[in-house]
A and B are shown apart, each in its own frame.
Chain A
């Protein structure tokens, strides 16, 4: 479970893309806090501080704004087109005794013995979970050290931290070791990669014109 992390924010004057662009140029990220039928708060936060916070994997943070402090869940992070810089952050107020739903990363632990003969495939990289706002797991750890070729680990097989409930289909495959696909001939693949052109023969077209 992640420790509470404090996000220091400043009051944001005005709204709109121009003001937001000015803030980003000054090394800050615009954000908004909403929820619990209270007033929506527009704020700005230091970009580097936010990036460091995101890298820790924290999902519920202690939000400080002027003199007020409250718990908030990171709802959405908007990135630029390259996925490098954070453009905007959405926070939602949560209370300590509230149960929240969010996506949590699946963390594979160990080396699957079957992967030497087959291909380790992970169809589910994240899981939709319901948990208490103060005990959000950083990730769901899945031990794959006994996974042989042809075996699968399903959602129902996962060992979850106490108080965490998975909302995904229990029969969904999280990770499995499959037999490798046979490599198709290079020429055949090149032909199939191009759509087939349907066109009339030139002589046929000329005859039609006449």
Chain B
């Protein structure tokens, strides 16, 4: 579990609607890719998708049935460090109902609780 709340990347900046993480954690490159594929299928070539996270962190692991020692394990996968409140995906050029439906499908693929957010009214 990643501690703390997002103090940046927690506002919809590029699109009109976004998917906000309500918990912290590591988001694997596979999960990001699964979300991207789901999103592109859901919007069917309409609108534009923005991915706000990138898997910069390498996660190492020691293979099963290995004796202790002999140094650190090899990188197993790559992950993005996500704090509570971070915007993971954004979408623009879609009506609200279509954006809601698409982001709900993406949220299903995410390993944490998410919510849909729109640009804050009156905060321009």
Say yes or no for B64: interface residue by CB 8 A criterion.
Answer: no
Q: Cβ of A186 and Cβ of B37 under 8 Å apart?
A: yes
Q: Give every chain A residue within 8 A of B119 (Cβ-Cβ).
A: 125
Task: Using A55-B121, A119-B47 as known contacts, say yes or no to A189 and B11 having CB atoms under 8 A apart.
Answer: no
In the assembled complex, how far is the CB of residue B114 from the closest CB belonging to chain A, in whole angstroms?
11
> A187 CA to B53 CA in the complex, in Å?
19
Interface size on A, residues (CB 8 A): 30
Say yes or no for B66: interface residue by CB 8 A criterion.
Answer: no
Q: Cβ of B33 and Cβ of A82 under 8 Å apart?
A: no
Q: Pick out which of these stretches binds chain B: A22-30, A32-40, A193-201.
A: A193-201
Q: Give every chain A residue within 8 A of B20 (Cβ-Cβ).
A: 82-83
CB contact between A186 and one of B16, B33, B123 (< 8 Å): that residue: B33
CB contact between B93 and one of A54, A82, A103, A120 (< 8 Å): that residue: A120
> A204 CA to B31 CA in the complex, in Å?
34
Per-position binary interface string of chain A over residues 28-63, scored 1 when its CB falls under 8 Å from any chain B CB and 0 otherwise? 000000000000000000000000001111100000
> A64 CA to B55 CA in the complex, in Å?
50
Say yes or no for A190: interface residue by CB 8 A criterion.
Answer: yes
How many A-B contacts if CB must be within 8 Å?
80
Task: Using A82-B10, A119-B48, A180-B45 as known contacts, say yes or no to A194 and B29 having CB atoms under 8 A apart.
Answer: yes
Say yes or no for A105: interface residue by CB 8 A criterion.
Answer: yes
CB contact between A197 and one of B22, B46, B75, B93 (< 8 Å): that residue: B75
Q: Cβ of B120 and Cβ of A79 under 8 Å apart?
A: yes
Task: Using A121-B92, A122-B92 as known contacts, say yes or no to A81 and B5 having CB atoms under 8 A apart.
Answer: yes
CB contact between B123 and one of A56, A79, A190, A194 (< 8 Å): that residue: A79
Say yes or no for A66: interface residue by CB 8 A criterion.
Answer: no
> A105 CA to B5 CA in the complex, in Å?
28
Q: Cβ of A83 and Cβ of B10 under 8 Å apart?
A: yes
- Chain B residues 1-20 with CB under 8 Å of chain A are 5-7, 10-11, 16, 20
Q: List 10 A-B contacts (CB under 8 A).
A: A54-B121, A57-B121, A58-B122, A77-B122, A81-B10, A119-B47, A120-B47, A125-B119, A125-B124, A193-B32
